[in-house]
Amino acid sequence: MSEEFKIEIVNPEKSFLVKEDVLEVVIPAFEGEMGILKDHISIISFLKPGIIKVFSKSGDENYYVEDGIIEFKNNNLSILTSAIFSVTDLDKSKQEDLLKKAEVEASKSEISDQAKYLADQKVEVLRSIN
């Protein structure tokens, strides 16, 4: 029995990533990181800014996401997100750009607690990527 399942990451513009040989995915769910293995129970959850870690037979990959929603069903993991970047492709200038934007947002005073929390998360995660 194989331990693989399928992952599909889509953003509004295109299908970002499709992989059939995934062993484990760690996603930054809203209430904490969550590891997904094959035969996980059907679940719907949404994401906070963080790193999606994809472990597959053909190599491991990391992606930075700002938001999104995940659905796992019948060993199909779908991730819908509007902002996703591959960590390896994320160059310094782009990263700093995103960081600056997040910092501006985090420093705003009139935003809700949740928005503030999300912005802080963004800053933290972006700082930690190197």
Partner 1 sequence: MASLDDLKKRIASVKSTQKITKAMKMVAAAKLRRAQESAERGRPYSEKMNNIILNLSNGISDKENAPKLLSGTGENKVHLCVVMTSDRGLCGGFNSNIIKKAKSYFSKTLDEGKQLKIITVGSKGNDQLKRVYGDKIIENISFKESKNANYFDADKVGRIIIEKFEAGEFDICTIFYNQFKNVITQIPQAQQIIPLNNEEDHNNPDESYEFEPDEDEILSNLLPKNISTQIFKAMLENSASEQGSRMSAMDNATRNAGEMVDKLTIEYNRSRQAAITKELIEIISGAESL
Q: Which residues would be at the binding site for partner 1 (CB under 8 A)?
A: 8, 10-15, 29-31, 34, 41-46, 67, 69, 71, 73, 78, 80, 82
What secondary structure does DSSP assign to 59-110, as a single string? EEEEEEESS-EEEEETTEEEEE-S-EEETTT--HHHHHHHHHHHHHHHH-SS
User: Minimum CB separation from partner 1 for residue 16, in Å?
Assistant: 9
Which residue, 78 or 121, has its beta carbon nearer to partner 1?
A: 78
Taking the least distance from each CB to partner 1, the nearer of 2 and 74 is: 74
Q: Give CA angle at 106 (100, 107), nearest 5°.
A: 90
Residue 49 CB, nearest approach to partner 1 (Å): 14
CB of 2 or CB of 42, closer to partner 1: 42
| φ, ψ dihedrals at 103, nearest 5° | -65, -40
CA distances to 6, 58, 108 from 19, in Å: 6, 9, 39
Smallest distance from the beta carbon of 74 to partner 1, in angstroms? 10
Of the pair 22, 79, the CB lying nearest partner 1 is at 79
Query: Smallest gap, in angstroms, from Cβ of residue 60 to partner 1?
Result: 24
